[in-house]
Amino acid sequence: MITEVSNKPSFVWHEKVGCFESDWHQHPKGQLMYAENGCIHFNLEGKQLLLPSWYAAWVPAGSHHLIWSNSPGLLIRTLFFDDPAQHREEFRQPCVFPVSDLLKEMLRYTERWHRVTAVDAAESTFLLAVQQILPGEMTRSASVCLPSTTHPQLSALLEHLQNHLHEKWTLESLARAFGFSPRTLTRLFARHTGIPFSRYNKIARVIKALELIERGEDNVSELAYQVGYESISTFSHTFLEICGNRPLYFIHQKRSVV
């Protein structure tokens, strides 16, 4: 168990977990989590985040979160650090970001210290180097994050939208379907999610497409259709805007491990 090594200032944990769901929990240390061969879903501080394969997530120390995955081949590589937010502003907020080739190899290299209970000088030095390059990596933060809400009517509307992303919803059509005026719904989105409907819809569609890629869908045209896009070009540009990479990047990454 992680408790075997958690008394160290910094430590690593690598595990093939497959499909799983955790309880709500928190860690006294900052947590860098890297996903291979699958997606990880986060509920974190009123947000829903998706961590795609070959991306990393930063979870600040003390953050209550729940994580789960439907990916049977998922491998999680996790590094824990004594709260670095005391020293750098960048570590105070959660984020998801694409991992550079350098950081990817460094994360894999840390597997040699998995479950090592004794403090190791080489491990400490190496993890400090990882921690020092993280702020630069995190500047490429991806927007694969949806805000949640406790507003009952808006929550029901958002759930309906996420279950019908293949349909071409507009704010006006959603407002009619749920008994709002377009003006009221616009105001509710601003107040309870912090982003406009158009942005929420874009992110929700990209997250759904990433999940479909993880399930084996590798046709960009079919992906676009399944999440409500008629234009492949618009779909691809939206992916680039939200994730920092186009859909073919994720398809090729998935193919490389099948």
- What's the whole-model pTM score? 0.79
Rounded to a whole number of angstroms, the distance between the first and last alpha carbons of the chain is 29
The distance from CA 133 to its chain's CA centroid, rounded to whole angstroms, is 20
Q: Are 211 and 252 in contact (CB under 8 A)?
A: no
Q: Are 205 and 239 in contact (CB under 8 A)?
A: no
Q: Are 68 and 23 in contact (CB under 8 A)?
A: no
Structural domains of the chain in order of their starting residue, each with its CATH number: 2-138 (2.60.120.280), 150-257 (1.10.10.60)
pLDDT of the chain, 258 residues: tens digit per residue? 566 666 788 999 999 998 899 999 998 899 999 998 888 988 887 788 888 888 899 999 999 999 988 888 889 999 999 876 566 788 888 888 888 999 999 999 999 999 888 989 999 999 999 999 999 999 888 888 888 788 888 989 988 998 898 888 899 999 999 999 999 999 999 888 888 999 999 999 998 998 898 888 889 999 999 999 999 999 999 999 988 889 998 888 777 655
